[in-house]
Amino acid sequence: MPQQVVPIRMGITSRIFRFTVRPKRRGGPQAFSRAEDARALGLMKVRAVQRADLYFVRGSIAPKELDLLGRFLFCDPVVETFEWEDCGDAGHEGSAALGDGNRIEVALRPGVTDSVAEEIMRAAVEIGVKGIEAVSTGEIFEVEGEGLERRDLELLADRLLANPVIQRYAIGRIEPSFPFLAAGSGEMERLPVSTMSDAELEALSAGRRAALDLREMTSVRDYFRMEGRDCTDVEFETIAQTWSEHCVHKTFKALIDVDVPEGSLNPYPPRVDNILKTYIKKATDEIAAPWVLSAFVDNAGILEFDDEYEMSFKVETHNHPSAVEPFGGANTGVGGVIRDVMGVSARPIAATDVLCFGPLDVAPEDLPAGVLHPRVVFSGVVAGVQDYGNKMGIPTVNGGIHFDPGYTANPLVFCGCAGLAPRGKHRRQARAGDRVVVIGGKTGRDGIRGATFSSMVMDSTTGEVAGASVQIGAPIVEKKAAEVIVEARDRGLYTAITDCGAGGLSSAVGEMASELGCDVDIARAPLKYPGLAPWEIWLSEAQERMVLAVPPENMEAFARICELNDVGVTDLGLFTGTGRLVVRYDGVVAVDLDCRFLHDGIPQRRLVASPPQATLAPTPLPAPAPAPAPDAARALLGLLAHPAIASKETVVRLYDHEVQGATVVRPFTGILHDGPSDASVLKPRETGGSRGLVLSNGFNPKYGMADAYRMAVSAVDEAVRNAVSAGADPERIAVLDNFCWGDPKRPETMWTLLEAARGCHDAALAHRTPFVSGKDSFNNEYRARDGRRVSIPPSLLISAIGIVPDVDASPGTDLKEAGNHLYLAGDFRPVFGGSVYAELYGLPGGAPAGAPDEVPDAAAGAHAVYLAIHRAILAGWIASCHDLSEGGLAVAVAEMCLGGRLGARLRIEGDRARTSTLLFGETNGCLVLEVKSGRDADFLKAMEGLPLRLIGGTADSGRLELSSGDAAASVPVEDIVAAFRGASAGAAQ
């Protein structure tokens, strides 16, 4: 391998060395995929974009040790080559841009955490390389194409290859930047809040991006007038984070005046006090499931798994950060929700993700100013999810990918994590005298004001001013912290624990000390870079940190566990019992707040809910009119290739769903493992017997644009029926809600929120499935430079976790054997409103069928069907089972054929004028079941009195035969496979 060998005398000169690592084989899918993305930006001359890794190492290092770095740390010699060169002494860091052909080099901006570089420093010590002072990393992109100009390369770098929030680039060579030894500045500012006018209060909130309204700012002013003093900047920022929408959920807890014109349909009282208590928690309280061990009080919901173990589940959103920095936003979204599970003393065992993007083929000139292209967001988010879960060794087992123009400026990134722990081991109550201990990564400038940033509407300047709000992840650090927590839990070394997420130490320590109070000194916190002011240290959301309450007598043992696992540990102070939050910087008081004011002093928000004009009357049922569509065969193949249905394999295969060895039902099923599963089933390795857990979700924002109430009912039903299809017991399923909405100050937005919350309540009662946790994300809007505001569609994700009594009985969605009968179970009422068929063929939108007062009864009827199906699955009568969702009945059966590579005959009787509706309309509460030969009589008896119809059977013909009314079609299974798999997640979607 070519390299430059230079004589170095150790200890004399510190020099900078540049390593370039290239794949041995040029080209490949990624190089041409990048070129495809470039052409989508209008750069039609780009033929391929080759990528190489770039590393800079500063220090006094011998040539043989440089070779060690190259061979053992920087490259895989089987598929890669490396070369290094001497760039000079440390006083001349690299070369200026040389214009090396069509080369773009990208590196992190100074001050941005380089987690790869940190791991290189650690690993170099392990392989015996000495003299390294600092490391930084980057990327090289070599652009192939004729006639490319510098402006083409700059456009490519600006819009595709570099994110200006955290990265810089050069055409040619880039100069490295290295971190410096870090110490805080200690500078604090005093704000005369107590004497400010209303206008000055509003200006202060806006200037510091506090996202506090005038009533909230007035409460702050009143408090400091009572205290008789000014407010420090650290105190003000603490209040802003603690009172943020992200942390305190003030919209869900608001007092809402319902304004509905007289004579209009109105299911609400004149005033609704606290949506969370009135609808979501109320459903959980009314169901009162004894197997719910903790709901809405911990970092994650906790449920009984069996007599020995408990399982936990949490789903978070990381939307605003992912819009600004897609990789870092999604990466730390995954890391944050994993920490939520660690925060209930559990071992993380599985991750889920549901991702929403704008259309990937949108023209660059149609994007609002300051908005990243959906292709850039898509690739960055997918890579971020892949990076964190894979590196931590947590399988990503379930999720979805959705596309809508409403997500162009506001992508949604839902990240979930499930955990397992011995029952009764989680400790929740700190005691006076316990030490306030933080473990994990160092504190940096990344993630500052993240909680308030996520509580604001984005605009064209967001990426410029909120870059520091995006955290940078280090999954290996979190992996080691997780090992510390499990061992410390089992040895009983701590009395309380929480993750250091939104708001950083201000929220983590503040919440743990909300009753006791504490006294901490943040000058002790280890820093990543110099010059951080006390408020920055206190608010930083730098990742991979957990806060624990450790009794003094356990500190030595706890610190020893951290040392053995190479995890940083810092004693910040103690819980005092005074009820005051006291924060010092090197002994100087920076915060001295009454905990009751901090956590209970926020005034209740007052909002108005009023229906849009279009929803003042009940939504009429869709008319049973013939659909202007092609023949059934072409319609089926068109639906299978649609981004909402087509295989997501090109994305899912990037995620490890096998690690830990617990995954029983994987994202794909069937004889070639390419058919879509309805849910994931896991059998944790610690547990005995055949019991497992299921993870599933329900999501259809297109319903939300027409009827938010029925969208919520539909999402709950879909999550539950997906779980039942995989073998879950319908009486042991819990759900989580994630509301992503626009600006709640808009009355019409609040109306849809009320409707969705009411739908959650009604559906939960109908299915007897309690809510155990949730999260909301508001202000998912974008304000363009012309003042126009664009909101996402009302988007409700329902995630389900439940018990599978026998994982071996889980039937899967793939057809098993020719000659079996196919049945359709459930109240089959397909419509085109909100369906993929309607989108594909330009039909009017709408919502699932049924008048509003019929919806809860329909859900209750579906629950009875699910109970009977579950008994049939446990009895061993069901060979395969698949729910009806996007694409309707024909698509569901086609996917079953695909998984089993078997043919089938499908005949559905009904009104001939509604043939397309029967085949491709969508409905709730329905599943297709393949019943094993000879078990039909048993199955029919078990389903007696419930909606059920025989719709056909399996065949070894290699074709799906469709017939309904006078329409008939015959589609080869190989064509079904080609349509489903031919549209890649990155291209067709």
**Which among 318, 657, 767, 821 is annotated as catalytic?**
318
Angle at 478 between CA 473 and CA 483, to 5 degrees: 175
**Which among 246, 657, 863, 870 is annotated as catalytic?**
246
Cα–Cα separations (whole angstroms), residue 25 to 78, 80, 578: 11, 8, 65
What is the C-alpha to C-alpha distance for residues 499 and 506, in angstroms, rounded to an integer? 12
Torsion angles phi and psi, residue 555, rounded to 5: -60, -40
- Max intra-chain CA distance, the chain: 90
Asked if residues 320 and 371 have their Cβ atoms less than 8 Å apart, the reply is no
What is the C-alpha to C-alpha distance for residues 895 and 928, in angstroms, rounded to an integer? 11
Residue 619's identity, in one-letter code, is T
Residue 322's identity, in one-letter code, is S
Q: Could you give the count of Cα atoms lying within 13 Å of 682 in the half-sphere of its Cβ?
A: 32
- CB neighbours of 974 closer than 8 A, spacing ≥ 6? 958
What is the C-alpha to C-alpha distance for residues 883 and 719, in angstroms, rounded to an integer? 10
What is the C-alpha to C-alpha distance for residues 636 and 440, in angstroms, rounded to an integer? 51
**Could you please report the per-residue DSSP string of 885-901?**
-TTHHHHHHHHHHHHHT
What is the C-alpha to C-alpha distance for residues 372 and 485, in angstroms, rounded to an integer? 38
**Could you please report the per-residue DSSP string of 205-257?**
HHHTT----HHHHHHHHHHHHHHTS-EEHHHHHHHHHHTSHHHH-TTTTSEEE
- CB neighbours of 112 closer than 8 A, spacing ≥ 6? 166, 167, 446, 472
Asked if residues 899 and 812 have their Cβ atoms less than 8 Å apart, the reply is yes
DSSP 770: -
Let me know if 863 is a catalytic residue.
no
Residue 102's identity, in one-letter code, is N
Euclidean distance between the first and the last CA atom of the chain, given in angstroms as a whole number = 41
Helices (H) and strands (E) in the chain, counts: 31, 42
Q: Is 374 exposed, middle or buried (0-12, 13-18, 19+ CB in 10 A)?
A: buried
Q: Which residue has the tokens 């992503």?
A: 740
DSSP 831: B
> Which residue from 710, 719, 762 is spatially nearest to 738, judged by alpha carbons?
719
Rounded (10°) CA dihedral 206, 211, 213, 217: -80
Cα–Cα separations (whole angstroms), residue 225 to 214, 228, 374, 588, 602: 16, 5, 49, 22, 16
H helical segments located in 706-779: 708-725, 747-767
Let me know if 870 is a catalytic residue.
no
Asked if residues 86 and 93 have their Cβ atoms less than 8 Å apart, the reply is no
Q: Is 927 exposed, middle or buried (0-12, 13-18, 19+ CB in 10 A)?
A: buried
Q: Could you give the count of Cα atoms lying within 13 Å of 954 in the half-sphere of its Cβ?
A: 27
> Which residue from 213, 311, 221, 293 is spatially nearest to 254, judged by alpha carbons?
213
Residues forming the active site: 246, 318
